[in-house]
Structure 1
Amino acid sequence: MGGTVEVTGLTKSFGSQNIWSDVTLTLPPGEITALLGPSGTGKSVFLKSLMGLLRPESGRCLVNGVDMVTAKESRRLDLRTKFGVLFQDGALFGSMSVYDNVAFPLRAHTRKTEAQVREIALQKLDLVGLLGQEHKLPGEISGGMRKRAGLARSLVTEPEIILCDEPDSGLDPVRTANLAQLLLDVNAQTDATMLVVTHNIELARTLPDNLGMLYRRRLVMYGPREQFLLTDHPVVSQFMAGDPTGPIGMSEETDHSLDPALDDTYGYATDHGRRTLVRTGARAIEVLPRQLMPVSGQARAATDRHARRVGSGQAPLFIADDEEADRPAALRRPDPLVRALDRTGEFFALALDTLRASVRRPIAARELLDQLWFVTSVSWIPAMLIAIPFGAVIALQLGTLTVQVGAQSFTGAASVLAVVQQAAPIVTTLVIAGAGGAAICADLGSRTIRDEIDAMRVIGIDPVQRLVVPRVWACVVAAVLLNGLVSVVGVLGGYFFNVIVQGGTPGAYLASFTALAQISDLWVGELKAVLFGFLAGAVAAYRGLHTRPGPKGVGESVNQSVVVTFLLLFFVNFVVTTLYLQLVPGKGA
């Protein structure tokens, strides 16, 4: 029998916008449940909250007895391996072929041989009608095919709980009907607990054992299909009939309250002393639609359990109290200072997670090398081009100043110290943040809005260990290497301009350099490069993982990552320089 899911008093908001409040329901093990509701009512948010991908403000969500709201992330990662999830757009990994996407969970969490993995993956691809397309990348197939590939990936580990977010979107009516039949057959074979979010009325009428509906931030009705479909509740009746006339409007702002005083087409009915809202003249359907049956003829164990629950009265139809359903949700206006502190805390938490994940196995060495090559290749030429004028300006400025005060012999030492300890690490990190960091942020941001990051979490893969760690340490190693290169180029540029342009003495320049500059000065610059490179990579990763939906959200995240890195860079440089001057008096930093 499938896994257990018990939700109690769940409430979720984003800032001042309340999505839904006090949602309570239980998914009967092994049965299929469909969740309905107008667009914008937070059905997808509800699915992500069940899996612990989003954290509600209050309430509990027990999955096999473990509260996903309060459990540690390591425990949630382990529990998510029990889930099979079909995201709205498939959430396939863009750099992998369709076959590798489907095989990914098996390779990550089983000890099966590659031959066994291939057999299972091809079987699931054949099940969803994609056999022969396994070699293609996700960008080379249609949206409907990506959806079916995502379904195949969600089934390879034989999950106990299967969540489907609008499986019919992007599919024609025939393939939608085939997909519904496929889900029913999978349930018959595995007895998995299923929750399907859908807008498809035909699918909602014929596929599930149970139905629920979200409306105006509440779960207005939930219960067995045969009771749900026969109700004359105005919201449910209008939605199931696709009727433009009723409390549901064109948008959430135009949805009507369930207060009957607002419309004489509504009235109250009394059932065992409890008032419920009905629409005058509205009729429930007279004949219950026939539920789908498995094609194989195999009996569903869930059908018998469901019949016993309904027959014994253990599955009453829940109808939200009309006064409670219409009560406006309290809006919490986030304080800008509190929001800034929250984001700062989240950033430091990600930085600590990155350090901890850096020593955990398996180490993504291949990804680290790929990212190092990328960051270095896009940064080394701009870094050198900036280092030459930077070193020249420092040498010219210091050369002019030392001539004025009669200290020409110190020109070489002052120029080298300024380049090695200040200019080189700053220039290196600015270039890495503006080139490599921006690309890292855009890459992770795109993965975030395509649900790839959530897909990794569902599969039980820590995205910090798999994606963030190699990118952050690639920035660190690149910063160290480029810092040495920029130091050499900057010093040579300063020497050239001091001797050629200002007529300095080569011997005096070199003598000052060798007499006052030490190896420890180079180490100070390299340590700064390590710290600055880590900051650049961590900020880029943080903004990428917290990208808002859409291309505009990715662009905003890239811009913010570069600006924040620049600000942090100069602030941290000031702090490090001050500490160095206090610890090593008389030396520059």
Structure 2
Amino acid sequence: MGGTVEVHGLSKTYGSQNIWHDVTLTLPPGEITALLGPSGTGKSVFLKSVMGLVQPERGSILVNGVDMVSSRESQRLKMRKKFGVLFQDGALFGSMNVYDNVAFPLREHTRMSEREVRANVLEKLDMVGLLGQEHKVPGEISGGMKKRAGLARSLVTDPEIILIDEPDSGLDPVRTSNLAQLLMEVNTATDATMLVVTHNIELARTLPDNLGMLYRRELVMFGPREDFLLTDHPVVSQFMSGDPEGPIGMSEETDHRRNDPLPELDPSYPHGTALLNRHAGARAIEVLPRQLLPRSGSLRASGERHRENVTSGRARLYVADDDEKPQPAPPRRPGLSARALTPTGRLFALGLDTVRIVATRGVRPRETLEQFWFLASVSILPAILIAIPFGAVIALQLGTLTIQIGAQSFTGAASVLAVVQQASPIVTALVIAGAGGAAICADLGSRTIRDEISAMTVLGISVTQRLVVPRVVAAVAVAMLLNGLVSVVGVMGGYFFNVVVQGGTPGAYLASFTALAQIQDLFVGEIKAAIFGFIAGLVAAYRGLHPAPGPKGVGEAVNQSVVITFLLLFAANFVITTLYLQLVPGKGA
């Protein structure tokens, strides 16, 4: 039998907007439950709350007895391994083909041999009709195939609880019907507890054992399909019939409000709850449609339990009482300083977590090398192109100054020290933030809005260990490489312009360089570069994991990442330089 999910008094608010409040329901173990509601009622937010991806302000969600609201993240990670989740767009990992996407949870969480993994994966792909398509990457398959591949991945670990968000999104009616039939077959084979969020009325009428509906920030009805579909509740009747007349308007602002006149209550309703008589214009559903059956003809255990519970009266229809209820007070909006400190604290926590993982678990060599090559490929050419004029400008300015004060013999040393200790780290910072950091932020941001990050979290994978650490470590390594490269190019450019353009003496330039410049000067620059790379990689990863919705949100996150990184890098450069001058007086930094 599937896992247990018990929700008690759940409330969620974004800013000053209450999404829903005091939601209480229990998903019958092993049965299929569908959650309905007009657009904007927070159905997907509820689904993510059950997964532990969204933190409600009040209430509890007990999954097999573990509260997903108040428990530690380590406990939530453990519990998520019992979930199988199908996101709206499949949330497949774009860098993997279909086979590797489905095999991913098995390789991460089991000790199966590759032969066992292959047998399991091919079985699930065959179940969803994708056998023979396993070599294709997500960009090469249709939306319906992505959903089926996502479903196969959600089933590969034999989960106790399966959560499905808008399975009909982007699909034609025929493929929606096929997917609904597939979900019925999955429930028959696994006896898993299933929660389906959908707008599709036909799917809601024929697939689930139980139905619930969110409307105007509360759960208005929840219970057996047989009672739900035969109710004459005005909101439910209008929604299920698609009638434009009734309490549900075009937008939430035009929906029926509590202080509007209500129809009389029906005191004869057998379960003792308040049930409204038919609202003018809303048609009650009079015919109970036939529920889908397994094509194989197999007996569905959860269906038998459901019928027994309905017949015995243990499964009862809940209908929200329309008496005036006090609305929960919205959380106090934090002040400007608090809103600024919250992301700062999260960024700091991400940095500490990154350092801890590197120190205790090390790095994943393959992913780190891939990120190193990627960042180096987008950073090396810009760094060289910037280093040449930087070195030239420094050599020209210092050469002119030393001529004016009669200290031409120190031109080489001054130029080299300026390039190695200041120009190289600054050029490295600009390139890492502007090219490498922007690429990291854009990559993670696009993964976030495609629900890949949520999928990884639900699969019980540490996003910090899997995605952040390789990128931050690669950013540090590339920054140190670029710093050395820029130092060499800058010194050579300075030599060329000083000797060729200003007519300096090659011997004097090299002599002052070797006499005053030391290897520790390069070490100072490398230390700066490492710190700059860490900051750039960390800020880019953080903003990529927390963009606003949509492509526009990703673009804004990239811009913010670059600006914030520049500010932090120049501040860090000032602090490091000041400390160096205090610790090594007279040496210059």
TM norm structure 1:
0.94
- What is the CA distance between 1:351 and its match in structure 2? 1.4
Q: For residues 1-44 of structure 1, what are the alpha-carbon distances to aligned partners after superposition, in whole Å with 9 as ceiling and x for unaligned?
A: 11111112222223333322222211111111110011111111
Is 2:258–2:324's contact at 8 Å kept on the other side of the alignment? no
How far the C-alpha of 1:295 sits from its partner, in A, is 2.3
Question: 2:530 maps to what in 1?
Answer: 530
Query: 1:311 Cα deviation (Å)?
Result: 4.1
Aligned amino acid, residue 125 of structure 1: L
AA matched with 2:422: Q
Structure 2 partner of 1:485: 485
| 1:153-302 pair list within 5 angstroms | 153-261=153-261, 266-270=263-267, 275-280=274-279, 284-302=284-302
User: Which aligned pairs between 1:155-554 and structure 2 lie closer than 5 A?
Assistant: 155-261=155-261, 266-270=263-267, 275-280=274-279, 284-324=284-324, 327=327, 330=330, 332-359=332-359, 361=361, 363-554=363-554
554-563 or 578-587: bigger deviation: 578-587
Shift of 1:121: 1.5
Secondary structure of the 2:220 match is strand
For the structure 1 residues 44 and 362, does the alpha-carbon distance in structure 2 shift closer, same or farther, using more than 3 Å as the test? farther
Displacement of 1:198 in angstroms is: 0.8
Contact 1:163 1:194 in 2 (8 A): yes
Cα displacement string for residues 298-325 of structure 1 (whole angstroms, at most 9, x for unaligned residues): 2222233333433444433222232456
CA positional deviation for 1:274: 6.1
Letter in 2 for 1:269: D
* Alignment check: 8 A CA contact 1:218 1:325 kept: no
How big is the shift at 1:500?
A: 2.6
- Letter in structure 1 aligned against 2:181: Q
Q: CA deviation at 1:502?
A: 2.7
SS in 2 for 1:321: coil
- Structure 1 pair 331–254 and aligned structure 2 pair: CA distance change class (3 A): farther
Instruction: Tell me how large the CA RMSD over aligned residues is.
Output: 2.1
Shift of 1:328: 8.0
Aligned to 1:40: 40
CA–CA distance in structure 1, aligned partners of residues 235 and 493 of structure 2: 75
One-letter amino acid of the counterpart of residue 102, structure 1: V
Report Cα offsets for 1:526-565 as digits up to 9, x if no partner: 0000000011111111111112222211211111111111
Alpha-carbon distance between aligned partners in 2 of 1:269 and 1:188, rounded to the nearest angstrom: 38
CA displacement 1:494-520 (0-9 Å, x = unmatched)? 222223333333333333322322221
Contact (CA 8 Å) 2:207, 2:291: kept in 1 or not?
yes
Deviation at 1:332, TM superposition (A): 4.9
Distance across 2 between alignment mates of 1:132 and 1:542:
38
Question: Does the CA contact (< 8 Å) of 1:106 and 1:117 recur in 2?
Answer: yes
Whole-Å Cα distance in 2 between the matches of residues 583 and 58 of structure 1? 53
User: What is the DSSP-based 3-state SS (H/G/I as helix, E as strand, rest coil) of the residue aligned with 2:264?
Assistant: strand
> Quick one: distance in 1 between partners of 2:273 and 2:120?
53
Asked if residue 79 in structure 1 is aligned to residue 79 in structure 2, the reply is yes
Look up the SS of the partner of 1:500 in the other structure.
helix
Task: Give the structure 2 partner of residue 19 of structure 1.
Answer: 19
Counterpart-to-counterpart distance in 1, 2:278 and 2:330: 28
Structure 1 residues 113 and 388: alpha-carbon distance in aligned structure 2, compared to 1, 3 A threshold = same
**Distance apart, 1:329 and its partner CA:** 6.6
In 1: Cα distance, 2:317 partner to 2:205 partner: 16
The percent of aligned pairs where both chains have the same amino acid is 76
CA distance in 2 between partners of 1:191 and 1:273 (Å): 32
Q: Measured at CA, do residues 567 and 175 of structure 1 come closer, stay the same or move farther in structure 2, by a change above 3 Å?
A: same
CA contact (8 A) 1:6 1:62 kept: yes
Return the alpha-carbon distance in structure 2 between the equivalents of residues 183 and 275 of structure 1. Answer: 34
Matched residues in 1 for 2:83 and 2:360: separation? 24
Q: CA deviation at 1:82?
A: 0.6
Partner of 1:279, secondary structure, is: coil
Closer, same or farther: CA 448–36 of 1 in aligned 2, 3 Å: same
**How far 1:250 sits from its partner (Å)?**
1.7
Give the equivalent residue in structure 2 for 1:580: 580
- How far the C-alpha of 1:343 sits from its partner, in A, is 0.8
Greater alpha carbon shift after TM alignment, 463-472 vs 66-75:
66-75
Stretch moving more, 228-237 or 361-370:
361-370
Which letter does structure 1 place at the counterpart of 2:453? I
Taking a change above 3 Å as real, the CA distance of residues 177 and 547 of structure 1, as seen in their structure-2 partners, is same
Checking the alignment, whether the CA contact within 8 Å between 1:428 and 1:479 is kept in structure 2 is yes
SS in 2 for 1:116: helix
Structure 2: tracts of 5 or more residues without a match:
none
> Is the contact between residue 417 and residue 517 of structure 2 (CA under 8 Å) also seen in structure 1?
yes
In structure 2, the CA distance between the partners of 1:240 and 1:273, relative to structure 1 (3 Å rule), is closer
Q: 1:325 to 1:446 in 2, by over 3 A?
A: farther
Contact 1:425 1:525 in 2 (8 A): yes
Shift of 1:398: 2.1
Name the amino acid aligned to 1:74. Answer: S
Write the deviation string for residues 244-263 of structure 1: whole angstroms up to 9, x where unpaired: 111112222332214442x7
CA distance in 2, matches of 1:151, 1:360: 35
Gaps of 5+ in 1: none
Distance in 2 (alpha carbons) for counterparts of 1:243 and 1:456: 40
Q: CA deviation at 1:386?
A: 0.9
2:55 corresponding residue in structure 1: 55
Alignment check: 8 A CA contact 2:243 2:283 kept? no
Q: Which amino acid aligns with 1:279?
A: R
How far is the alpha carbon of 1:410 from its aligned partner? 3.1
Give the 3 Å change call, closer, same or farther, for CA 484–388 of structure 1 in structure 2: same
1:145 Cα shift? 1.2
Q: For the Cα contact (< 8 Å) 1:267–1:280, is it kept in 2?
A: no
* Distance of 2:174 and 2:540 partners within structure 1: 44
CA distance in 2, matches of 1:36, 1:280: 20
Question: Equivalent residue of 1:587, what SS?
Answer: coil
1:12–1:57 CA contact under 8 A, matched in 2: yes
CA shift for structure 1 position 132: 2.0
Distance in 2 of aligned mates of 1:254 and 1:326: 21
Shift of 1:178: 2.3
How far apart are residue 331 of structure 1 and its match? 7.0
